[in-house]
Amino acid sequence: MSLQSIKYSRGSLEILDQLLLPVQSKYLAVKGVEDGWKVINKMQVRGAPAIAIVGCLSLAVEIFPEEFESKKRLRQEVEGKLNYLVSARPTAVNMKIAADELLTLANELTKDETIDVTEMKQRFLCATEAMLKKDIADNRAIGSHGAQAILLRVAEAVGTAGPVRVLTHCNTGSLATAGFGTALGVVRKLSELGKLEHVYCTETRPYNQGARLTAYELVHEKFPATLVLDSMVAALLRSKNVAAVVVGADRVAANGDTANKIGTYQIAVVAKHHGVPFYVAAPLTSIDLAIPSGDHIIIEERPDREMTHVGEHRIAAPGINCWNPAFDVTPANLITGIITERGVFKPAELKEAIGKLLES
């Protein structure tokens, strides 16, 4: 059974504090938007899909017990709080897209003279809650499409789609989504099909999401898995017959350039050198067609302390300067395919294909 990072019932939201894993499993109550902003910003919840869901559900929890004098007042409350939530982690586009969708709904409901403020609030809550179910369904579709793409590629290369070895980076599983996962969902599907020989995960410095979270999930699922240091990837791809690299994404530009956890870019470069297919697994909500290329993606920079300390223990020399971008951008020409819930697309095909899907 997959781990549950988000527990929600109407009026109640709890998140698994990922800063405490794998040593301690503790759920935190999120009682409103301020709590939602804090757990996102402090990375107690992380992963672009989970950020969007927790952010929106924190708003649902806040407005659930409130009574509003008018639909206009409710819409103003929704708009202000959603804009605030987007500021918590600006690189992850899912929160911005979810906020835009909910604000569009609020505007439509405000104009609809056939419903009152009570019905408007009810519909808004239902739309927010539907995001949980949709994310899990989307992740399962991503897993199926990704597993099929990897196995087909292997079959074309060696004549048989036997069990495969894959490498993943950061954490993209149940802890980063509502459930199942994106890149780790592909791994789960390979396992379900009996086609997973081994999965390697990077430690993912400086926050160690791979060592703390992905390894935790892999052990929980009893997958055949090995943790490697970030600096070992070149040696791994040279010696371990890895069939594919599959990672997640925080934002994908219209040309296929992809922002993901720092270290993704260098893995893509190494994979290209060794002829290993490099896949990005992400829902359509992570694709931002308004951004033409990765050069336009805002990269969040995190505090020096994340590099200089592990917990309360300093590991870097006092006085050293630090540069700590949370993400890097992998150019589209290094990406074999972008795995979505609607299929796998080559980066060059992405803008046109996604545009058609969004129109349909």
Bridge partner list, 201:
168, 227
Structure tokens, 110: 């405000």
d(CA 75, CA 143): 37
Alpha-carbon distance of 71 to 314, in angstroms, equals 52
Report the sign of the C-alpha dihedral through residues 170, 171, 177, 179, in that order: positive
- Asked if residues 171 and 51 have their Cβ atoms less than 8 Å apart, the reply is no
- Please state the φ and ψ torsions of residue 10, each to the nearest 5 degrees: -55, 120
Which helix (H) or strand (E) element contains residue 155?
Answer: helix 117-158
Are the beta carbons of 283 and 182 closer than 8 angstroms? yes
**DSSP β-bridge partners for residue 156:** none
179: which 2 tokens?
Answer: 């459930």
| Phi, psi at 165, each rounded to 5° | -105, 135
- CA atoms 302, 307, 311, 316: torsion sign: negative
Which H/E stretch holds residue 34? helix 33-41
Active site residues: 250
